[in-house]
Amino acid sequence: MIPLLILAPLILLAAFGAVWMARPVHAALMLALTLALVAVLYLALGADFIGLVQFAVYVGAVAVLIVFSLLITRPGDEAEEIERRPRSLVTGLFCTLPVLAVLAYTAVFGSNIKLIPWQPKLSIAELGEMLFTSHAPAVLALAVLLTAVMIGAALFAREPDKPQDDSSEK
Amino acid sequence: MLPLAAVISEPSLFSLEHLPRLPQRLVELLLGNFGAPEWLVSIAGFLVAAGTVVGVFLGGFALLSLIERKTLARIQNRIGPNRAGWFGILQPVADGIKMLTKEDIVPDKAEKFLHLLAPILIVVPAILALGVIPYGREWTPVSLELGLLFFFAVGSLTELSVFIAGWASGSKFPMLGAMRAISQMISYELPLIITALGVVMVSGTLSLPHIVEQQNGGFWHWNFFTPWGFFAGILFFICSIAEANRCPFDLPEGESEIVAGHMTEYSGFKYALFFMGEYLGLFAISALGITLFLGGWQAPLPGLGFVPTWIWFFGKLAFVIFLFLWIRGTYPRVRIDQLMRFAWLCMIPMALLTLPAAGVWHFTGRGLLSWVLVVPLLLVPWVIVGVIFNKRLAAATRTYTFADG
Amino acid sequence: MTPLAMMLTLSSVLFALGLLAVLTRRNAILVLVGIELMLNAANLNFIAFWAFDSPAAHNAVEPALSGPLFVMFAIAIAAAEAAVGLAIILMVFRHTRSTDLNKLDSLHG
Amino acid sequence: MADHYHLLLWCVPLLPLLAGGIIAFLPDAKGRIASKLAIGALFVSCLLALGALGCVLPAGTVRIPAPLTWFTFGDVTLKIGLLLDPLSAGMAAMVTFVALWIFIYSLGYMEKEKRFGRFFGFLSLFCGAMLMVVLSSSLLLLFMAWELVGLASYLLIGFYYEKPSAAAAAQKAFITTRIGDMAFFLGMIWLYGHSGTLLFYDGGNGLLESGALSSLAGATTIGGLTVSAAASLLLLVGAMGKSGQVPLHTWLPDAMEGPTPVSALIHAATMVAAGVFLVARTHPIFSLGGDTGIALTATAWIGAITALYAALVAMAQYDIKRILAYSTVSQLGFMMIALGTGGVAAAMFHLIAHAFFKALLFLSAGSVIHGCHEEQDIRKMGGLRKAMPKTFLVYAIGMMALAGFPFVFSGFWSKEAILHSAEYWPGGKGPFLIAACAALLTAFYMTRQALLVFFGESRSPESHPHESPLVMIVPLFVLAAGAVLLSIIGTPLWPWFEKWIHGEAAVFHAGAFGEKGAIGLLVLSFVIVTVGVGASVAVYRNAMASSDTPDPLCSKLGGFWRFLENAMGFDAFYQKAVINPLAFFAGGIDMLERMIFVPLMGLAEMAIKGCGRITRASDEVGLNKGFDGVCDGLRERADSTSRSQTGSPQGYLRTIGLGVTVLLVLYFWLSAG
């Protein structure tokens, strides 16, 4: 309860930064911060493994990938890079707020499950056993997906005239 | 209860084996004696334990900066630092003073906050990573069930901090250096993790102390002296050179090309922090390699148990570090395209092969049959990949139009 | 407010923020940032239900690991999605020298 | 084994057909390849045909492979197939053998021809079709192949289609034989209607087997004629058309416009024999009315008239090939006499022997023409004996065989057999006497031709005749050998061929000459030939001093000579009796067209054009303006509508978001209410 109370505002603050920051790199770094804080929240909730995986994958890979892409796709014009407040903000809010209202309403009042609080501890042994027995097909499918993505992303990102440089963008 | 009595009641505290834990235990006992609450005792003990590790490795950092220079000088037929103190022994101190007293320059275009954040962020993960390594039978600062995963998780933060350093400097060389560093680190992190996975598969745990314990009983039980572990260990070593940005993979800060990479715009203490982060990272990755492949704190022969285990660990660490220095003094720096091609076309396929090999080793009983099966399974593809890479993918031999006459 | 409700509220707001980013950001990569936020909001819900809903309440014998499992798969797929998405954005950038979504309207009427 | 055999038998006609088909797709420049292909196919076909002949050599062997079902409609099944009996085997062997040597001869004769390959394609087509005629086991397949033979003949006669006379001759041949074919077709249909089958032999149900024959003989039609007789007469007309019997013979002399090998192959050796073959094949039907039944009587008399008529006309011709053509007509008449008087074997023997020596004669004539630089008028030749000794030798053999020189030439024995058959015909002595006369005349005109061409002095000194190349001479010798050697199998001493055709074993019959009248007939034949040759020598020896000298008989016979020279006016008669009325009728129709239909069409055209103008005007004014207007309006609306398609992904997303919002509001509103 206490870590949640501390972390929740931080997460929201960081996420707001990711949405609001004018410079793309700042926004991306705020995203990395958000993801790291969410990982800490997972750790606090007892899901150690998930938290560390979240940290390794999101902070270590996805966030880095995003900032790296931002560097590669810089328009060159500094002014253009910095994002002024978008004109469509009103429409965006108009769409977002009802969704938020419904979700929050459901979250606060909609849950009628009788919950018994407990202190779970995520056992990676059990998790691993489930992964490779009952969920083995899903793992295999995921493996195929990741292989395809690796090849596909390499092909996509390949410079048409300089085929050797594809790996530098991974 | 008197403090002394409490101390005496735990006689093992004074054995050589328990020496590194002595400060922590002492603080805990004393605080407990003075009636401090339980949480305060554990937090204080934790802080002292962490302080021990940091202190040890900061000392190691200072020592290493001198030893590196001396060793390189020896390799290059020079004398090396010999002015400050006896045989230059005070050189690290002199360097430290110089660094701390230098002016801290922050460029105009820099992002002030991020510029400050980057050197801190680069040291923190290294220290965090050092915290989970089992240095001795009784000396594991933080014993985590997911220690290995934790190590890689915090290790991945380094990339982000390097990026921040490069980007926040608001200058071209740091940016280029950061991009080089990130692509290099991401590329080499993949085979690094994959080779470590083989160890996890065979040990059946992510806990580093458990991994070490499973390698007991003489050096022939170390993972490095199994066929798959031998190959995986070599790959791991190469990857750790790249991860630590050491020569011959020190392109991110290649002095002759991009000044000092992402550290170009740093000076003074911030620069020292980067320097420290690098060396701490080097220690961490070497320690992990020792833990995974070289039996950690295990003695090489069963009869050598009387020597404290942490001494074995640091002996191995010294040896591995010496290997780093030796390689640095021997090999020239590679080009960025060679580096990338080597990672993606050579390292990753080879590393992936060690996974099935480890599986075969594990499920055929680790006996003679396993040797017969695993050695060809790895050797043949390696030779093939090596031949192909050498013949068709390596950069063409350079011809010197004018120098050769 | 129960902890579960707090978690759900947190994820709701996170989701809404992600949606806002997707709808209003101009840079395609930042739209991807929004998508990551939304995915994380969903993951948070999974972990929340796992953490605050005891399997004993349902007389379940097996440990209730569906939540973490789902999150693991979600993380893996999210990584793949990010890789492919960024690769596509790179391709688009090569063609148009821009990642501004407002400029990518060659399909307009 | 049987199936294997069946397939090989099919190969005999199909190989040349296939070769012809392939050649049809070869460009003209590939003529050498085409000729090799055609000759190769025919060579294999010839070997197979000889093998087939070997299979039926034992007396009484008949092989009938199972017929194939061609198609079925309702409960009626049409079957076609092949039939191998002595008749067809002998014919097939003769056709392939003679044709093979004619092909080889053509290599030399047609060497400078531009459409060399096409020529061989047509030849192959012809050979395949002819073999199909011969080997067919059903009247239907025979008829189809028969038509194909007609087509090939048309193509080959008109091979030099640039020459108007050749084109006209081709059309004439085609149309004239078409008249006969029409009758053939009717006869065939009639036969089918009565017997329900067109297969010759079908395990007792065939057309030529007892069941069908008795039903045919039993039924009668108009004028008390039996169906068999009526159908036979119709078939006879078909045979007359193909075999050039009077009065449908006029196309055959004109057909000499085709290249000489064609004349040899088609119009001497094989195609014209198809009519005779048809009658021989269906002889059981012909003979249903008895030996003196109307069908056989008609056959005999038509043969006799043709034989005499053609022999007379041949006397008065100057064109070397025309003489041979009329001679062919005459010899076909002989065969018809034999068929009509019951001598099927004699007819077939004469047919085969005739094929050899007439092909030989035509090819030698071709050699002569070739050597004399395309000169065909015998008045301008003479003395070629010295210039072309080899050609002279083989020509002499052929001429003597045709004229019926005694004992060593096949023509003598075959003609003797025909006379023998005619003499003992119960229907009267007429055909016999006429045949004897015709034989006499044959000897006369052949001697005349030989004398004028080869003896005496050259009558056109400016020409330098030369011998033909080896590739033309070798086939001549082979055929000459055949013309001589064939006599062995047909003498009354050892009438092997006759017995074989009838399916009996031949015995050496030393007493044959002792039978009634045999010696007398032999003597008569001898006398006929001697008289004919002697008279001819007497008249023409040294008669022609130069090419301008009129024929010695011309002055003696006067008008009759010219009558003969014009082929007794058949062409003129047809011109007046058939063509002129038709032309008049056509002219009338033409007039009708010009006077009535053309103006009517003009009116209609004007009306339609007027309608078109009106439509066009209304289209341009009304439709186009209106339609364009509508289109423009639509396009403008579409433009303005499509502007809502911004192409911006986020715009779409926002719209989706709005939609979701509206749905949520609706949901809560409804669930609340």
Nearest CA in chain B to A69: B179
Lowest mean pLDDT of B210-214, D78-82, D187-191, name the range: D78-82
Specify whether B137 is located in the same domain as B27: no
Is A90 at the interface with chain D, CB within 8 A? no
- Chain A residues with CB under 8 Å of C35 CB are none
Nearest CA in chain D to A92: D654
Q: Which one of C29, C47, C88 has the shortest CB-CB distance to A70?
A: C29
Residues B57-101: pLDDT tens digits? 888 888 888 888 888 888 888 888 888 878 778 888 888 888 888
Lowest mean pLDDT of A106-120, B233-247, B307-321, name the range: A106-120
Q: Which one of A25, A52, A124 has the shortest CB-CB distance to B150?
A: A52
- B132 part of a folded domain: yes
Nearest CA in chain D to C107: D647
Q: Torsion over CA of B290, B295, B296 and B299, rounded to 10 degrees?
A: -130
- B390 part of a folded domain: no
- Mean pLDDT, rounded, for D18-23: 88
Specify whether B149 is located in the same domain as B260: yes
Is the predicted pLDDT of residue D520 greater than 80, yes or no?
no
**Cross-chain residue pair C68–A47, CB shorter than 8 Å:** yes
- B343 part of a folded domain: yes
- Mean pLDDT, rounded, for D100-107: 88
Lowest mean pLDDT of B4-8, D415-419, D524-528, name the range: B4-8
Specify whether B133 is located in the same domain as B222: yes
Pairing of strands D68-73, D76-80: antiparallel
Specify whether B83 is located in the same domain as B222: no
Contacting chains of C (3 CB pairs or more, <8 Å) are A, D
**Cross-chain residue pair A64–B186, CB shorter than 8 Å:** yes
Residues A125-168: pLDDT tens digits? 778 888 888 888 888 988 898 888 888 877 776 665 544 444 44
Q: What tokens does D238 get?
A: 């078909």
User: Is residue B206 within 8 Å of residue B148, measured between CB atoms?
Assistant: yes
User: Is residue D403 within 8 Å of residue D532, measured between CB atoms?
Assistant: yes
Specify whether B159 is located in the same domain as B268: yes
Chains C and B touch (3+ CB pairs under 8 A): no
pLDDT at D649: 77
Residues A29 and A21: their CA atoms lie apart, in Å, by 10
Is the predicted pLDDT of residue D4 greater than 70, yes or no?
no
**Cross-chain residue pair D650–A88, CB shorter than 8 Å:** yes
Is C63 at the interface with chain A, CB within 8 A? yes
Cβ neighbours of residue B285 closer than 8 Å, sequence gap 6 or more: B155, B240, B243, B244
Q: Where are the domains of chain A?
A: 1-75, 80-112, 123-158
What number of other Cβ atoms are within 10 A of residue D648's Cβ?
A: 18
Contacting chains of D (3 CB pairs or more, <8 Å) are A, C
Is the predicted pLDDT of residue B1 greater than 50, yes or no?
no
Which residue stretches of D455-513 are H helix? 470-485, 496-501
**Cross-chain residue pair A94–D664, CB shorter than 8 Å:** no
Contacting chains of A (3 CB pairs or more, <8 Å) are B, C, D
User: Is residue A35 within 8 Å of residue A63, measured between CB atoms?
Assistant: yes
Bigger pLDDT: D585 vs D410: D585
- B398 part of a folded domain: no
Specify whether B215 is located in the same domain as B295: yes
Which residue stretches of B79-171 are H helix? 91-101, 112-130, 147-155, 157-168
Q: How many domains does one find in chain B?
A: 2
pLDDT at D490: 63
pLDDT at A170: 40
- B402 part of a folded domain: no
Residues D55-65: pLDDT tens digits? 777 766 666 66
Is A120 at the interface with chain C, CB within 8 A? yes
Cβ neighbours of residue B6 closer than 8 Å, sequence gap 6 or more: B29, B32, B33
Task: Provide CATH code, domain A1-75.
Answer: 1.20.120.1200
User: Is residue D539 within 8 Å of residue D552, measured between CB atoms?
Assistant: yes
Specify whether B225 is located in the same domain as B84: no
Is D660 at the interface with chain A, CB within 8 A? yes
Share above pLDDT 70 across residues of chain D, in percent, rounded to a whole number = 92
Residues B220-266: pLDDT tens digits? 888 888 888 888 899 999 999 988 888 788 777 777 777 777 888 88
Q: Which one of A12, A96, A153 has the shortest CB-CB distance to C84?
A: A153
User: Is residue B370 within 8 Å of residue B376, measured between CB atoms?
Assistant: no
- B394 part of a folded domain: no
pLDDT at D613: 92
Specify whether B71 is located in the same domain as B129: no
Specify whether B208 is located in the same domain as B357: yes
Is the predicted pLDDT of residue B306 greater than 50, yes or no?
yes
- B400 part of a folded domain: no
Residues D219-257: pLDDT tens digits? 777 777 788 888 888 889 988 888 888 788 888 888 888
**What is the rounded average pLDDT for all residues in chain D?**
82
pLDDT at B237: 92
Residues D142-197: pLDDT tens digits? 999 999 998 988 988 888 888 888 888 888 888 888 888 999 999 888 888 888 77
Specify whether B252 is located in the same domain as B339: yes
CB contacts < 8 Å between A and B, how many?
A: 77
Q: What is the ipTM of this complex?
A: 0.59
Residues D420-451: pLDDT tens digits? 888 888 877 888 888 888 888 888 888 888 88
B64 is in which domain, residue-wise?
Answer: 4-88
Compute the C-alpha angle D86/D89/D90, nearest 5°. 80
- B111 part of a folded domain: yes
Is the predicted pLDDT of residue D266 greater than 90, yes or no?
no
Specify whether B58 is located in the same domain as B10: yes
Is D657 at the interface with chain A, CB within 8 A? yes
Is C101 at the interface with chain D, CB within 8 A? yes
Closest CA to C8 of C72, C63, C74, C52: C52
Is D646 at the interface with chain A, CB within 8 A? no
- Mean pLDDT, rounded, for A20-46: 87
Lowest mean pLDDT of B207-221, B336-350, C66-80, name the range: B336-350
Residues D46-56: pLDDT tens digits? 988 888 888 77
Q: How far apart are the first and last CA of chain B?
A: 87
Closest CA to B289 of B251, B317, B266: B317
CB contacts < 8 Å between A and C, how many?
A: 227
Is the predicted pLDDT of residue D608 greater than 90, yes or no?
yes
> Which amino acid does the sequence have at D293?
G
- Chain A residues with CB under 8 Å of B167 CB are 25, 67, 71
Is A3 at the interface with chain D, CB within 8 A? no
Lowest mean pLDDT of A18-27, A42-51, C52-61, D458-467, name the range: C52-61
**Cross-chain residue pair A56–B183, CB shorter than 8 Å:** no
Closest CA to A27 of B232, C21, D592: C21
pLDDT at A163: 43
Bigger pLDDT: D203 vs B168: B168
pLDDT at D1: 40
Residues B109-148: pLDDT tens digits? 778 888 888 888 888 888 888 888 888 887 888 788 888 8
Only one residue has tokens 């007293």, namely: B101
Specify whether B242 is located in the same domain as B146: yes
